[in-house]
Amino acid sequence: MNGWTALDRFLRTDPRDVGCAEAMELLHVYAELAAAGAPAAERYPGIAAHLAACGPCGEDFDGLLAAVRSPAE
């Protein structure tokens, strides 16, 4: 991959991206769907787009998913 392609990838934004506020608002719903193996990304494409593009929200999603999957008390 040449440098301009890498730059293009970095600058490219997804119009479906809902932003942090909406993704964080629904993160518990999204994570529970994902944990259950339901098609969370199909149901909430704007959140899926955001989690793919936003490092911190993606990290929070991974963390919540791990928490939901962790054995109970």
Partner 1 sequence: MAPADPTADGISPAPRFDPDSDQWVRVLSGSGPQREAALARLHGLLLRIASGELQRRGGQFRITGPELDDLAYQAAADALLAIVVKLSQFRGESKFTTWAYKFVIFEVSAKIGRHFWNNPAVRMDAEDWERLPDRLGLDPARETERRELAGEVRRAVDEHLTPRQRQVFVAIVLNGVPMDALVTELGSSRNAIYKTMFDARSKLRDVLAAKGYLNVQTSRHS
Q: What residues line the site for Zn ion (CB under 5 A)?
A: 20, 54, 57
Q: Is 45 near partner 1 (CB under 8 A)?
A: no
Q: State phi, psi for 30 to the nearest 5 degrees.
A: -65, -45
What's the min distance (Å) between Cβ of 17 and Zn ion?
9
The answer to whether residues 30 and 44 touch, using CB atoms and an 8 Å cutoff, is yes
Backbone angles phi, psi at 9, to 5 degrees: -65, -40
How many Å apart are CA 14 and CA 9, to the nearest integer? Answer: 11
Judged by CB under 8 A, which of 16, 29, 38, 52 binds partner 1? 29
Q: Which of 16, 17, 42, 48 binds partner 1 (CB under 8 A)?
A: 17
52 binds partner 1 (CB under 8 A): no
